[in-house]
Chain A
Amino acid sequence: MSAFAGLLAQTPASGYAWAYLDEESKREVRRALLKAVCIPGYQVPFASREMPVARGWGSGGLQVTLSIIEPADTLKVIDQGSDESMNARALRDLIVRTTGVATTTDAREASIIQTRHRIPEDPLHEGQIIVFQVPIADPLRIVDARSSVTRRLHAERDYAPLWLYLYEDVATKGAPSFTHSYPVQVEGGYVMAPTPIPRHDIPRLCEAPFLALYGAGREATVYAVPPYTKVTPLEFDDRPFTVERFPEPCALCGASWTYLQEEADVDPPRYVCSDVAYCRRRRSG
């Protein structure tokens, strides 16, 4: 009790519980997360709360982060690879004001990284946790919108409809049409939505040393990939999965191995690293 009161005293935002959610709510989310870690790739329902951000704006990832965060943690929040976008700033601000934890932009120093649409370019290490904000938790949604159907398909590991989806893409468009959210299979079992990360980041999930937690606020599910777990994209034996290629290296730092995004509002248009902090550190040496 006294430790808890001590924490409250450090909290800059008064009138709120430490880490915003009350302790019982956090326990409930953590219980769901434990189950998710035990059954990699399986979507575990949880009692998604109303949050002070709209559903679809990271409310799932936020609940996960707030439920696992501890006073000694160092936090990094990114949106499309940037620490400074409006969405990343707002979420980080909420977490910091209700916990007082330290923050960083350096992915190597963060103990928790909450992210939308990217995995940082820096190689992450054991002990780190990456929390993904999930817009669509069920990879089978694109083949059938009824959760009664997709639950049965998952239970039977019947992914023929997704293979058919890939077949139709290749037959009519020449290649799989997933630019992001490329469906992956976890340890040969459940197929999982990796969230809208680019294909560039998919191989980096496989056998990764970090713990990946996924929170979907609107769909009220969490799922997870424990460290050193095999994560493989769905691919035909004779049509290997490919990552994005870019016509030129980063215009700012010259990296040719990172995920780039096109800046169309400069003349001439150029490609720069999507991971802003990584790019900036390379330039400053």
Chain B
Amino acid sequence: MTPVLALHDVTVRYPAGNYGCREISFDVFPGEVLGIVGESGSGKSTVLACANLDLVPTEGSVEILGRDVSRTRGAERRKLRAQALGIVYQTPQQGLDLAVTAGGNIAERMFGAGHRSYRVVRERARSLHAAMELPCDRFDVAVRTFSGGMRQRVQLAKALATSPPLLLLDEPTSGLDVSVQAKTLDLIRRIQRDHGLAMVIVSHDLAVIRMLADRVIVMREGRIVERGLTDQILGDPQHPYSQLLVASQLT
């Protein structure tokens, strides 16, 4: 089976000489959820930026659906993102235009993918809006007026608008309060199962990882220090840093 996303020995070195990440390799297969954990500064977001084709690896390669796309730029990257990738950022203003309606934010991705029928775009956006349990009467309202939890759900709807096989999530619930966080995680899990999505979820919150991820990689100082099944890593961590991470959870 071809992995949806594969990183091969990805190293990002910045001009100053410091490393964003070093020799990162992993595969994500269709329908599989990979969690990336680690403290802030460990390189989680750098890895995600490479997967989203925002960063070009200094060494190594990024493959999407078996094709090396690490050096794709410009119109080709835009097309590839529209077809293959969806992303949900921690802060909604990164992924959304807050002055634009919920429907418009979802529609934009479809226009990027070449849709030119108003009716088709609008109906698809409306059904995604409803599927994310957003209130119908807020469909034509600017996202600026939305709560944090609602904004994250608009981001999810936007990411799913072109039915990509791969969804990237960067701390999707970190800015939300606990009850909204639980609802949003439920929604993400349901979407993932319904669509058979491959997902990469980056989080410093092990509860989020426990709930969603099938496999986990633990990062520290830009390197992978441990990898394995979620239950195995969170239940029986081997590496001293993983043990520290698991032990330092608040209960």
Contact = CB atoms under 8 A, between A and B. Distances in A.
Interface of A: 155-158, 160-161, 163-164, 167-168, 170-172, 236-239
Nearest to B122: A171
A159 to B, nearest CB: 8
Contacts of B119: 238
A172 B138 CA distance: 12
Interface of B: 74-75, 78, 100-101, 103-104, 107-108, 111-112, 116-119, 121-122, 140
A154 B100 CA distance: 22
B103 A171 contact: yes
A164 B78 contact: no
B87 to A, nearest CB: 16
A156 B77 CA distance: 10
16 contacts: A156-B75, A156-B78, A158-B78, A160-B108, A163-B108, A164-B107, A164-B111, A167-B118, A167-B121, A171-B103, A171-B122, A172-B140, A236-B118, A237-B116, A237-B118, A238-B117
B108 A155 contact: no
| The 7 nearest A-B residue pairs measured at CB | A163-B111, A236-B118, A160-B112, A160-B111, A156-B75, A164-B108, A237-B117
Given A161-B108, A167-B107, A171-B101, A155 B121 contact: no
B38 to A, nearest CB: 33
B138 to A, nearest CB: 13
A171 B107 CA distance: 11
Interface SS of chain A:
helix
Contacts of B117: 236-238
Contact of B116 (A155, A158, A172, A236): A236
A150 to B, nearest CB: 15
Contacts of A239: 118
Contact of A157 (B75, B101, B104, B116): B75
Nearest to A152: B74
Q: Of B108, B111, B112, which is in contact with the most chain A CB atoms at under 10 Å from its CB?
A: B111
Given A236-B117, A236-B118, A239-B118, A164 B100 contact: yes
Contacts of A157: 75
Q: Select the residue from B104, B116, B117, B118 with max chain A CB neighbours within 10 A.
A: B118
Contact of B75 (A158, A164, A238): A158
Contacts of B103: 167, 171
B108 A238 contact: no
Contacts of B121: 167
Given A160-B108, A167-B118, 10 more contacts: A156-B74, A156-B75, A156-B78, A158-B75, A163-B108, A167-B103, A167-B104, A168-B104, A171-B122, A238-B117
Nearest to A164: B108
B123 to A, nearest CB: 11
Contacts of A161: 108
Contacts of A155: 74
Contacts of B101: 168, 171-172
Contacts of A160: 108, 111-112
A246 B103 CA distance: 33
Contacts of B122: 167, 171
Nearest to A159: B111
A167 B119 CA distance: 10
Contacts of A167: 103-104, 107-108, 111, 118, 121-122
A171 B138 CA distance: 12
Nearest to B73: A156
Given A155-B74, A156-B78, A164 B104 contact: yes
